[in-house]
Protein backbone atom coordinates (compact mmCIF):
# COMPACT_ATOMS: atom_id res chain seq x y z
CA UNK A 1 0.00 0.00 0.00
CA UNK A 2 1.25 3.49 -0.89
CA UNK A 3 1.01 6.92 0.73
CA UNK A 4 1.59 10.23 -1.11
CA UNK A 5 3.93 12.14 1.22
CA UNK A 6 5.86 15.36 1.65
CA UNK A 7 7.75 17.22 4.37
CA UNK A 8 6.63 20.81 4.91
CA UNK A 9 6.51 23.90 7.04
CA UNK A 10 2.97 24.31 8.34
CA UNK A 11 1.76 27.83 9.20
CA UNK A 12 -0.13 28.56 12.39
CA UNK A 13 -3.77 29.66 12.27
CA UNK A 14 -3.07 33.42 12.15
CA UNK A 15 -0.51 33.19 9.35
CA UNK A 16 -2.72 30.78 7.43
CA UNK A 17 -5.57 33.32 7.63
CA UNK A 18 -3.27 36.12 6.38
CA UNK A 19 -1.99 34.00 3.49
CA UNK A 20 -5.52 33.02 2.54
CA UNK A 21 -6.69 36.65 2.65
CA UNK A 22 -3.81 37.62 0.34
CA UNK A 23 -4.77 34.77 -2.01
CA UNK A 24 -8.40 35.93 -2.13
CA UNK A 25 -7.27 39.49 -2.81
CA UNK A 26 -5.02 38.33 -5.67
CA UNK A 27 -7.79 36.13 -7.07
CA UNK A 28 -9.77 39.28 -7.90
CA UNK A 29 -7.13 40.36 -10.42
CA UNK A 30 -5.57 37.00 -11.38
CA UNK A 31 -8.56 34.67 -11.49
CA UNK A 32 -7.92 31.02 -10.79
CA UNK A 33 -8.59 28.94 -7.72
CA UNK A 34 -7.36 29.99 -4.29
CA UNK A 35 -5.67 27.33 -2.19
CA UNK A 36 -7.92 26.47 0.73
CA UNK A 37 -6.63 27.89 4.00
CA UNK A 38 -6.20 24.45 5.55
CA UNK A 39 -3.88 23.37 2.74
CA UNK A 40 -1.46 26.33 2.77
CA UNK A 41 2.11 25.19 3.46
CA UNK A 42 5.70 25.37 2.24
CA UNK A 43 6.98 22.06 0.87
CA UNK A 44 10.48 21.13 2.03
CA UNK A 45 10.79 17.78 0.25
CA UNK A 46 8.22 16.04 -1.95
CA UNK A 47 8.42 12.24 -1.81
CA UNK A 48 5.42 11.23 -3.88
CA UNK A 49 4.18 7.67 -3.45
CA UNK A 50 5.97 5.78 -0.68
CA UNK A 51 5.22 2.30 0.67
CA UNK A 52 3.38 2.65 3.98
CA UNK A 53 5.78 0.08 5.45
CA UNK A 54 8.51 2.76 5.18
CA UNK A 55 6.66 5.31 7.35
CA UNK A 56 8.56 4.34 10.56
CA UNK A 57 11.83 4.82 8.65
CA UNK A 58 10.73 8.30 7.56
CA UNK A 59 9.70 9.24 11.10
CA UNK A 60 13.08 8.10 12.50
CA UNK A 61 15.00 9.87 9.74
CA UNK A 62 13.13 13.16 10.35
CA UNK A 63 13.63 12.87 14.11
CA UNK A 64 17.38 12.73 13.51
CA UNK A 65 17.37 15.84 11.28
CA UNK A 66 18.54 18.66 13.47
CA UNK A 67 17.66 22.20 12.62
CA UNK A 68 17.31 25.58 14.28
CA UNK A 69 14.13 27.61 14.65
CA UNK A 70 14.10 30.70 12.43
CA UNK A 71 12.09 33.69 11.28
CA UNK A 72 10.85 33.65 7.71
CA UNK A 73 9.59 36.77 5.94
CA UNK A 74 7.23 36.06 3.04
CA UNK A 75 7.64 39.31 1.14
CA UNK A 76 7.50 38.45 -2.55
CA UNK A 77 4.54 37.44 -4.71
CA UNK A 78 5.06 36.00 -8.15
CA UNK A 79 3.75 33.65 -10.80
CA UNK A 80 5.05 30.66 -12.68
CA UNK A 81 3.20 31.50 -15.86
CA UNK A 82 3.84 28.13 -17.48
CA UNK A 83 2.09 26.34 -14.60
CA UNK A 84 -0.34 29.24 -13.93
CA UNK A 85 0.59 29.22 -10.23
CA UNK A 86 0.68 32.39 -8.13
CA UNK A 87 2.87 32.06 -5.05
CA UNK A 88 4.35 33.91 -2.11
CA UNK A 89 7.97 33.45 -1.08
CA UNK A 90 10.83 34.99 0.87
CA UNK A 91 13.13 37.36 -1.00
CA UNK A 92 15.89 36.10 1.29
CA UNK A 93 16.06 32.44 2.33
CA UNK A 94 17.25 32.14 5.95
CA UNK A 95 20.37 30.01 6.34
CA UNK A 96 18.55 27.80 8.87
CA UNK A 97 15.87 26.99 6.26
CA UNK A 98 18.47 26.11 3.61
CA UNK A 99 20.30 23.89 6.13
CA UNK A 100 17.07 22.11 7.12
CA UNK A 101 16.20 21.34 3.50
CA UNK A 102 19.75 20.15 2.78
CA UNK A 103 19.73 17.89 5.87
CA UNK A 104 16.35 16.41 4.94
CA UNK A 105 17.38 15.82 1.34
CA UNK A 106 20.67 14.19 2.36
CA UNK A 107 18.95 11.91 4.88
CA UNK A 108 16.23 10.95 2.40
CA UNK A 109 18.73 10.16 -0.36
CA UNK A 110 20.92 8.14 2.01
CA UNK A 111 17.86 5.96 2.74
CA UNK A 112 17.07 5.59 -0.98
CA UNK A 113 13.98 7.80 -1.04
CA UNK A 114 13.41 9.45 -4.41
CA UNK A 115 13.12 13.22 -4.59
CA UNK A 116 12.09 15.53 -7.40
CA UNK A 117 14.83 16.27 -9.94
CA UNK A 118 14.14 20.00 -9.98
CA UNK A 119 15.78 22.41 -7.55
CA UNK A 120 13.86 23.30 -4.40
CA UNK A 121 12.24 26.76 -4.54
CA UNK A 122 10.69 27.94 -1.26
CA UNK A 123 7.13 29.16 -1.82
CA UNK A 124 3.54 28.91 -0.68
CA UNK A 125 1.08 28.27 -3.52
CA UNK A 126 -1.74 30.82 -3.31
CA UNK A 127 -3.60 30.36 -6.63
CA UNK A 128 -3.79 27.74 -9.38
CA UNK A 129 -4.96 28.26 -12.96
CA UNK A 130 -4.28 31.98 -12.54
CA UNK A 131 -2.69 34.82 -14.47
CA UNK A 132 0.35 36.73 -13.22
CA UNK A 133 -0.50 39.48 -10.73
CA UNK A 134 -0.10 43.09 -11.76
CA UNK A 135 1.35 45.62 -9.35
CA UNK A 136 -0.53 44.54 -6.25
CA UNK A 137 -0.10 45.60 -2.67
CA UNK A 138 2.61 43.35 -1.32
CA UNK A 139 2.28 42.38 2.32
CA UNK A 140 5.28 41.16 4.27
CA UNK A 141 4.10 38.24 6.35
CA UNK A 142 6.29 37.09 9.24
CA UNK A 143 6.50 33.37 9.99
CA UNK A 144 8.04 32.12 13.23
CA UNK A 145 9.14 28.65 12.13
CA UNK A 146 9.51 26.33 15.11
CA UNK A 147 8.90 22.90 13.58
CA UNK A 148 8.36 20.90 10.40
CA UNK A 149 5.85 18.20 9.54
CA UNK A 150 5.29 15.05 7.49
CA UNK A 151 2.07 15.28 5.47
CA UNK A 152 0.02 12.73 3.58
CA UNK A 153 -2.03 13.87 0.60
CA UNK A 154 -5.13 11.71 0.62
CA UNK A 155 -7.88 12.27 -1.99
CA UNK A 156 -7.17 15.99 -2.14
CA UNK A 157 -6.99 16.44 1.64
CA UNK A 158 -3.86 16.84 3.73
CA UNK A 159 -3.29 14.90 6.93
CA UNK A 160 -0.41 15.74 9.27
CA UNK A 161 1.29 12.48 10.24
CA UNK A 162 4.02 13.79 12.55
CA UNK A 163 5.74 16.97 13.70
CA UNK A 164 9.34 17.67 14.79
CA UNK A 165 10.49 20.72 16.73
CA UNK A 166 13.40 22.83 15.62
CA UNK A 167 15.97 23.70 18.26
CA UNK A 168 17.25 26.98 19.60
CA UNK A 169 15.66 30.38 19.66
CA UNK A 170 16.27 32.54 16.61
CA UNK A 171 18.00 35.88 17.09
CA UNK A 172 15.91 39.03 17.16
Structural domain containing residue 9: 2-165
- Kindly report, residue by residue over 74-83, the tens digit of the pLDDT: 999 999 988 9
DSSP class of residue 27 equals H
Domain count, the chain: 1
- Residue 86 located in a structural domain: yes
- Distance (Å, whole) CA 39 – CA 47: 17
- Distance (Å, whole) CA 107 – CA 109: 6
Of residues 20, 84, 111, 123, which has the active-site annotation?
A: 123
Of residues 20, 41, 84, 111, which has the active-site annotation?
A: 41
Whole-number pLDDT of residue 116 = 86
- Residue 97 located in a structural domain: yes
Whole-number pLDDT of residue 14 = 96
- Residue 44 located in a structural domain: yes
Which CATH number belongs to the domain containing residue 120 in this structure?
Answer: 3.90.1140.10
- Kindly report, residue by residue over 35-72, the tens digit of the pLDDT: 999 999 999 999 999 999 999 999 999 999 889 999 99
What is the Cα gyration radius of the chain? 16
The whole-number mean pLDDT for each consecutive block of 10 residues of the chain, a chain of 172 residues, reads 96 97 93 95 96 96 92 94 93 96 96 90 96 81 97 93 85 52
What's the chain's length in residues? Answer: 172
- Residue 172 located in a structural domain: no
Mark whether 84 is an active-site residue: no
Mark whether 41 is an active-site residue: yes
pTM equals 0.93
55-64 helix and 95-110 helix, angle to the nearest 10 degrees: 140
- Residue 71 located in a structural domain: yes
Amino acid sequence: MQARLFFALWPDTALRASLHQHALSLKQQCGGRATRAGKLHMTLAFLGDVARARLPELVALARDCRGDAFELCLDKTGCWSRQHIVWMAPQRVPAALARLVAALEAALRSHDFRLEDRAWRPHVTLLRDAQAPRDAAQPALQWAVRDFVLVESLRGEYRLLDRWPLGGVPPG
